[in-house]
Amino acid sequence: MLRRAATRVMSCDASVVVDGDPALLESAVRRLHDLERRWSRFRPDSEVSRLNAAAGRPLHVGEDTIHLVEALVAAWHATDGAFDPTLLGALVGLGYVASREDAELRTSLPAGTRPRGEPGAVLVDPERRLVRVPLGTTLDPGGLGKGLAADLVVEELLADGAVGALVEVGGDLRCGGTPPLPTGWTVAVSDPVIGPSVHVAMAAGAAATSTTALRRWPSGCVGHEHHHLVDPRTLRPCVAPTVSCTVLAGTASWAEAFTKPAFVLGWPDAGAMYERHGLAVRAVTADGSVVTTSAWRRFELEVGRR
């Protein structure tokens, strides 16, 4: 029997669906909030904030944060830098300082923080659970943290006996185990330009959507706003015409990281990267045009025949 729970976490609406013991729902929600406490850049006592404040010294952290930092660096490498987890200085400089949930929770940057840091110089020692963030570099889990949280919670739910599980945090979704229907888990893909448009069905896997239509704030110029997707080359909000990008992948953290090239590089450069990785991707531009990769089209045809 499917059981559902909803919560607010990481400044997003989140949902948990479990086929199994009702107690699993409660533990999943607690786990999501625990990960937020560990990873939030708005909390001075989080492990991410303490890493950023460590002034280049190695810091002992929990296993979850080891996974997070490893995923952040791996995503930077895989996307050729289009996803950059060290843009916190630039983001704060653009005005995204306070939490959307609680304005009293504000990002505090150490002296000497650079707008863009050195992802390749972040060192991780998993055995001793040590992380060293270079002086001047600050990490921002951003959307990848949401995706990784969904990944970890689904994997733990299945390990704890759930028949099937789905966790979605602010557009980043992971599902696994036995789906509720023979066609799989049904996921709606929508965008802010043309509205709800397609549904996809997955036996297992992940989907992530990023958009420039949310998380916006006044830029200081009348009639203009900033959004939270920053181009690591210019340290300004991305200007590519992409307004929404959805990626299907094996994990939500991977899918989330790969939404970023669509905004940084635009099409067709981002499309070429996606094709090299064999990713199923759908992007929408400001005029409502839809572009997809060949993997996405094959997936849609497969779903349509079921």
Q: Looking at residue 299, what is its pLDDT?
A: 66
pLDDT value of residue 195:
64
pLDDT(34) > 90 = yes
What pLDDT does residue 305 have?
39
Strand, coil or helix: what is 37?
Answer: helix
Q: Can you give the pLDDT at residue 97?
A: 79
pLDDT attached to residue 124 = 98
Question: Where do you find CATH 1.10.3980.10 in the chain?
Answer: 50-139
The token pair at 222 is 């009348």
Q: Which two tokens stand for residue 304?
A: 């349509």
Which CATH architecture best describes the domain 50-139? Answer: Orthogonal Bundle (1.10)
Average pLDDT rounded to a whole number, residues 212-226: 61
Q: CATH assignment of 181-305? A: 3.10.520.10
Nearest Cα to Cα of residue 270 among 253, 282, 254, 287: 282
Which of the pair, 303 or 239, is modelled with greater confidence? 239
State the pLDDT at residue 77: 98
Given pLDDT bands bounded at 50, 70 and 90, which one contains residue 246? very high
- If pLDDT is split at 50, 70 and 90, which confidence band does 1 have? confident
Q: For 171-175, what is the mean pLDDT?
A: 95
Strands 12-19 and 164-169: antiparallel
Q: Report pLDDT for 301.
A: 35
Which residue spans of the chain are classified as CATH 3.10.520.10?
A: 181-305
Assess whether the previous peptide bond of 110 is cis (omega < 30° from 0).
Answer: no
